[in-house]
């Protein structure tokens, strides 16, 4: 009896400090993720499109923040988009429009093979069509087809049949001598390299893929900035950090701990969070274009380098496509000085959020960001 009482008292003494202990403070990436998720939930129902559409749906769904109402609203918008196109090829030259929509619908919990009576995966069945958009086409077709474990439909007569093996081979054959990938030229681009790695991540049993991945990781480590961030098209920016985080977590690599990606004590997570806005969201970059001769409002698309960089993404948009409610413009003061926006950039926010969500999933040993098979009915 005395032993039982003593054991009980010991248990109480052990538990008391824990009960009164202060909660462990959030890491900066956790704060940015939580605040950005809350911010995105205030931005209205998701639509079909690059900004405020599929990328937001994916991040919110994987973070457990996408409501049923938001999912239904997105589905309705996507169905309208598909009806207007009247074809599984949602754009005459950009297959990534179809790939992005497949990803969004799958994340929302809907079968992409039955959208307004159209099988969207059929829009990815012709390899020659995918190549029109350069390497972007095959990369995102592979990610989209794998996201829900979709079978590839038979291509029409006279078309070149898409296969998973063919997509992997297409991506491997485009690897640059320096180990990365690019959309144009021969020098690797961080964003394209990261997206290629993400697409290849389910195929690591392939020895050729393994070798290509190791070369690409060496390339990314070599070009990482001293603050943990990354540069694309001459600009250090948040989206490049986001793409690298998604790629590393997809490969089972901890971006906060792997020594190859720690520079001066800073990781890609630190590089991304350097662009976090107070209250949620992310800036694209802190590098600003030259002041114009006239001083109107300058949008994020003004800088030629930034605009060119964004054209390498499947979610690139023109200035006319940007929702002004989601994107803050840079303002030019009367003295010509450009004022850095304190409000979030739409594209940077959605990519930053899904990247931090990808890391949260990695920490929980959950399926990688674009593995959405468990979300289908």
pLDDT in tens, 55-75: 999 999 999 999 999 999 999
Q: Could you give the C-alpha distances from 166 to 126, 138, 330, in angstroms and in order?
A: 11, 9, 43
Please answer whether residues 369 and 63 qualify as being in contact, where contact means their C-beta atoms are separated by less than 8 angstroms.
Answer: no
Please answer whether residues 60 and 40 qualify as being in contact, where contact means their C-beta atoms are separated by less than 8 angstroms.
Answer: yes
What is the overall mean pLDDT for the chain? 84
- The pair phi, psi for residue 66, each rounded to 5°, is -85, 115
List Cβ neighbours of 128 (8 Å cut-off, separation of 6 or more): 159, 160
Q: What is the share, in percent, of the chain residues with pLDDT greater than 70?
A: 80
Neighbouring CB atoms inside 10 A of 362's CB total 23
Q: Residue 349 is encoded by which pair of tokens?
A: 């926010």
pLDDT reported for residue 21: 55
pLDDT reported for residue 184: 85
Task: Give me the mean pLDDT over the 171-179 stretch.
Answer: 97
Listed range (173-182, 302-311, 352-361) with the worst mean pLDDT? 302-311
String of DSSP letters for 59-122? HHHHTT---HHHHHHHHHHHHHHHHHHTSS-SSSS-HHHHHHHHHHHHHTT--TT-BTTB-GGG
Please answer whether residues 269 and 256 qualify as being in contact, where contact means their C-beta atoms are separated by less than 8 angstroms.
Answer: yes
pLDDT reported for residue 288: 58
pLDDT in tens, 90-110: 999 999 999 999 999 999 999
Q: Residue 215 is encoded by which pair of tokens?
A: 């070369």
Beta strands in the chain (DSSP E): 231-232, 235-236, 331-332, 338-339
For the cut 80, the answer to whether the pLDDT of residue 320 exceeds it is no
Q: What is the share, in percent, of the chain residues with pLDDT greater than 90?
A: 72
Task: Specify the DSSP element, H or E, that contains 121.
Answer: none
pLDDT reported for residue 52: 87
For the cut 60, the answer to whether the pLDDT of residue 142 exceeds it is yes
pLDDT reported for residue 22: 65
Listed range (41-55, 202-216, 286-300, 310-324) with the worst mean pLDDT? 310-324
Task: Indicate the DSSP class of residue 159.
Answer: S
Grouping H, G, I as helix, E, B as strand and the rest as coil, residue 308 is helix
For the cut 70, the answer to whether the pLDDT of residue 376 exceeds it is yes
User: So where are the chain's domains?
Assistant: 26-42+175-316+327-368, 67-173
- How confident is residue 233, by pLDDT bands cut at 50, 70 and 90? confident
pTM, 2 dp: 0.83
List Cβ neighbours of 90 (8 Å cut-off, separation of 6 or more): 81, 82, 97, 98, 101, 120, 123
| 340: Cα separation from own chain's centroid | 24
Q: Could you give the C-alpha distances from 30 to 34, 42, 63, 278, in angstroms and in order?
A: 6, 19, 12, 13
What's the burial of 45, exposed, middle or buried (CB within 10 Å: 0-12/13-18/19+)? middle
Grouping H, G, I as helix, E, B as strand and the rest as coil, residue 115 is strand
pLDDT reported for residue 271: 97
- The pair phi, psi for residue 266, each rounded to 5°, is -110, 140
């Amino acid at each position: 009896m005395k032993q039982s009482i003593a054991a009980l008292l010991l248990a109480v003494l052990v538990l008391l400090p824990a009960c009164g202990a202060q909660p462990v403070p959030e890491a900066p990436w956790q704060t940015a993720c939580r605040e950005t998720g809350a911010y995105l939930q205030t931005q209205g129902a998701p639509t079909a499109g690059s900004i405020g559409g599929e990328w937001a749906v994916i991040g919110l769904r994987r973070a457990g923040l996408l409501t049923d109402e938001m999912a239904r609203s997105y589905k309705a918008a996507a169905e309208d988009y598909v009806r207007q196109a009247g074809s599984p090829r949602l754009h005459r030259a950009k297959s990534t429009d179809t790939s992005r929509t497949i990803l969004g619908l799958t994340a929302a919990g809907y079968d992409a093979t039955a959208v307004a009576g159209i099988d969207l995966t059929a829009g990815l069945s012709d390899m020659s069509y995918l190549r029109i958009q350069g390497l972007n086409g095959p990369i995102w077709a592979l990610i989209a087809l794998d996201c829900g474990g979709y079978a590839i439909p038979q291509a029409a007569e006279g078309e070149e049949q898409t296969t998973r093996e063919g997509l992997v081979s297409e991506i491997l054959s485009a690897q640059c001598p320096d180990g990365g990938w690019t959309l144009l030229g021969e020098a690797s681009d961080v964003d394209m390299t990261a997206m290629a790695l993400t697409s290849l991540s389910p195929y690591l049993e392939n020895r050729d893929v393994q070798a290509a991945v190791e070369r690409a990781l060496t390339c990314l480590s070599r070009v990482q900035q001293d603050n943990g961030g990354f540069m694309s098209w001459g600009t250090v920016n948040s989206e490049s950090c986001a793409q690298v985080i998604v790629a590393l977590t997809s490969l089972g690599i901890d971006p906060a701990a792997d020594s190859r990606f720690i520079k001066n004590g800073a990781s890609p997570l630190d590089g991304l969070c350097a662009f976090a806005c107070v209250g949620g969201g992310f800036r694209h970059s802190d590098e600003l274009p030259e002041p114009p001769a006239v001083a109107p409002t300058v949008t994020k698309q003004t800088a030629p380098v930034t605009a060119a960089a964004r054209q390498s993404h499947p979610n690139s948009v023109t200035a006319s496509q940007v929702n002004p409610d989601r994107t803050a413009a840079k303002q030019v003061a009367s003295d010509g000085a450009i004022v850095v926006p304190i409000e979030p950039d739409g594209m940077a926010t959605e990519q930053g959020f899904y990247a931090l969500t990808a890391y949260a999933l990695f920490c929980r040993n959950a399926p990688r960001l674009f593995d959405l098979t468990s979300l289908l009915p």
